[in-house]
Structure 1
């Protein structure tokens, strides 16, 4: 039943932990959140001599992209758990949308991109399910 849990809940929870426990300031929540997300964790010197700085927000987005890939792979299955996964993904999107619209520390580009990935997961899951169901229906009609 663990396959029914959307993987994109992981970056959403990590973002919540970073913002609520590390980057939240009652008077200036958005500025503190942006600072925490954009402060470089480390930098790598490239062959060109340029320095590539990696921040907490970059790492959360990187993890989100990897998990989105696996979520899209999961959406191609037609197991019963996939229906639960789609429903939970929709709930996760609604939670993300509420946080984005109502909480100051969540009105950042990083969280917007995470929320967009969750929306893409929802859309992909429903589209793949509809296409698979239509193919099953067409195949069933061909038999007489």
Structure 2
């Protein structure tokens, strides 16, 4: 099992189990060492203090690990739940585990399980919101489609579609008629309707 899926709160609980079951002569309340503070007070550090401090540090690592993208999966939450359930059973059923130190370690295991569930639920609600925001930004930043007609192509198409610009077959393009033939608008050159044609004058000899 990789460290990413290993419940780190199992480490202080396992140490407590080893000491409580195999090392009965070791006391959790006996001072391991004494430190003199700046104030002059002598601080006695016990085995219980060391286990609790280790549990708090490992809980911080579990929260950091669970806050990473894709950090915790369903199996990790299941393992955290198993660790919490086993610690609770030992605290309630075994006499050697009915201490305040083990109770606080069990409470840290519960916080680890609940924090993993909360972080997973928050990631699940944040992903759709982020996808919606990115889609809206893409729609706003996309330029509107614009069609710019090419004046050369438009002029050529209009010229080719004009009936007056049709080029006869076999005639080169440079001698094609430039436009329609002019129409004579002078009516005096045309005979009116009902007017007899002019008679030819007799030839004089």
TM value normalised by structure 1: 0.84
| 1:61-112 CA-partner distances (Å, limit 9, x unpaired) | 1111111110010111242753221110011000001001101111111111
Q: Which runs of 5+ in 2 are unaligned?
A: 137-205
- Cross-structure match for 2:106: 115
**Are the aligned partners of 2:33 and 2:45 in contact in 1 as well (CA < 8 Å)?**
yes
- Cross-structure match for 1:18: 19
Secondary structure at 2:27's aligned position in 1? helix
Task: Give how far 1:139 is off.
Answer: 4.1
Aligned length: 134
Which protein shows a greater Rg?
2
Counterpart Cα distance in 1 of 2:120 and 2:14: 27
**Are the aligned partners of 2:77 and 2:113 in contact in 1 as well (CA < 8 Å)?**
yes
Alignment RMSD (CA, Å): 2.0
Counterpart Cα distance in 1 of 2:47 and 2:101: 10
Q: Which runs of 5+ in 1 are unaligned?
A: 25-34
Counterpart Cα distance in 2 of 1:82 and 1:59: 30
**Are the aligned partners of 2:72 and 2:116 in contact in 1 as well (CA < 8 Å)?**
no
TM value normalised by structure 2: 0.60
**Which has the larger share of helix?**
1
Counterpart Cα distance in 1 of 2:99 and 2:49: 13
Of 6, 31, 35, which residue of structure 2 is paired with 1:44? Answer: 35
Of 107, 110, 125, which residue of structure 1 is paired with 2:116? Answer: 125
Counterpart Cα distance in 1 of 2:73 and 2:47: 31
